[in-house]
């Protein structure tokens, strides 16, 4: 597995088959403070996002490793290991759908809670730099050294890569497969962003 780390550069602020050998998702710190039902729901869904993004990252790492075996020639990867590549993409799409549904249950609360609202921008509501008033406050740098300045929210950019709807994030060719270098970067940082939301939801003020 390629060990190069993706870099998240902040610009404005601080399914099928099992997945053997998965690294456990980092859980938010425990608390002894009493929690209301709304807070419990927020924290539970945020914790589920941490688990789900860890699964997405693991499959993105496997897809990246598969592409690396073929020198990141996605056409060669499809010609020789197409079944495995497509299986990973299908599974990541299923995971993404589950993540979308999970976040949808708490999106409004996150967006309207001052202590959490910035996490909604990063995860879901933020735009690309072409719309600077609502643009995300981060840029991404891939293991290959490519930089994506304020590409959009993590839900949007991973969706664009996985479904081939954004050519910035897809490999050349007619099948519109995800660009492995970009996808592994986005998945790693998506997981980090989910962890940050879970921690903020646990430690922040009641959601109401």
Q: So what's the pLDDT on residue 21? A: 40
DSSP H or E segment with residue 10: strand 7-10
Distance CA 136, CA 122 (A): 6
Q: So what's the pLDDT on residue 176? A: 94
Q: How far is CA 164 from the centre of its chain?
A: 16
Distance CA 163, CA 66 (A): 19
Q: What angle do CA 195, 200, 204 make, to 5 degrees?
A: 165
**Mean pLDDT, residues 172-182:** 94
Tokens of 116: 């959490």
**Mean pLDDT, residues 138-150:** 98
Q: So what's the pLDDT on residue 38? A: 67
Q: Percentage of residues in the chain with pLDDT exceeding 70?
A: 79
Residue 124, pLDDT > 70, answer yes
Residue 14, pLDDT > 80, answer no
Backbone angles phi, psi at 135, to 5 degrees: -70, 150
- Convert 115-178 into a string of H (helix), E (strand) and C (coil): CCHHHHHHHHHCECCCCHHHECCEEEECCCCCEECCCCCHHHHHHHHHCCCCHHHECCCCCCCE
87 contacts 109 by C-beta, under 8 angstroms: no
Q: So what's the pLDDT on residue 202? A: 86
Distance CA 169, CA 89 (A): 14
DSSP H or E segment with residue 195: helix 180-203
Q: So what's the pLDDT on residue 37? A: 64
Query: Mean pLDDT of all residues in the chain?
Result: 86
**Mean pLDDT, residues 58-80:** 97
**Mean pLDDT, residues 97-122:** 97
What's the whole-model pTM score? 0.83
Q: So what's the pLDDT on residue 205? A: 56
Q: So what's the pLDDT on residue 194? A: 98
122 contacts 137 by C-beta, under 8 angstroms: yes
Distance CA 21, CA 15 (A): 17
Model confidence pLDDT, tens digit, residues 30-46: 443 445 666 889 999 99
Residue 169, pLDDT > 90, answer yes
Q: Name the burial class of residue 167, with classes exposed (0-12), middle (13-18) and buried (19+) by CB atoms within 10 angstroms of its CB.
A: exposed
Band the pLDDT of 188: cuts 50, 70, 90.
Answer: very high
Q: So what's the pLDDT on residue 146? A: 97
């Amino acid at each position: 597995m390629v060990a190069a780390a993706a870099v998240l550069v902040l610009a404005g602020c601080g399914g099928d088959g099992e997945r053997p050998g998965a690294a456990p998702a980092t859980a938010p710190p425990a608390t002894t403070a009493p929690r209301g039902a709304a807070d419990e729901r927020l924290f539970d869904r945020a914790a589920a996002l941490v688990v789900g993004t860890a699964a997405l990252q693991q499959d993105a790492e496997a897809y990246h490793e598969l592409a690396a075996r073929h020198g990141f020639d996605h056409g060669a990867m499809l010609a020789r290991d197409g079944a495995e590549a497509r299986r990973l993409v299908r599974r990541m799409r299923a995971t993404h759908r589950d993540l979308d549904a999970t976040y949808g249950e708490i999106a409004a609360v996150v967006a309207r809670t001052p202590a959490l609202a910035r996490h909604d921008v990063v995860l879901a509501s933020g735009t690309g730099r072409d719309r600077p008033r609502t643009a995300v406050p981060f840029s991404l740098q891939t293991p290959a050294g490519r930089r994506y300045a304020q590409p959009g929210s993590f839900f949007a950019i991973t969706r664009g890569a996985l479904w081939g709807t954004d050519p910035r994030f897809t490999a050349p060719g007619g099948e519109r497969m995800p660009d492995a270098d970009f996808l592994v970067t986005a998945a790693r940082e998506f997981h980090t962003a989910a962890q940050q939301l879970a921690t903020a939801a646990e430690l922040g003020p009641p959601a109401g």
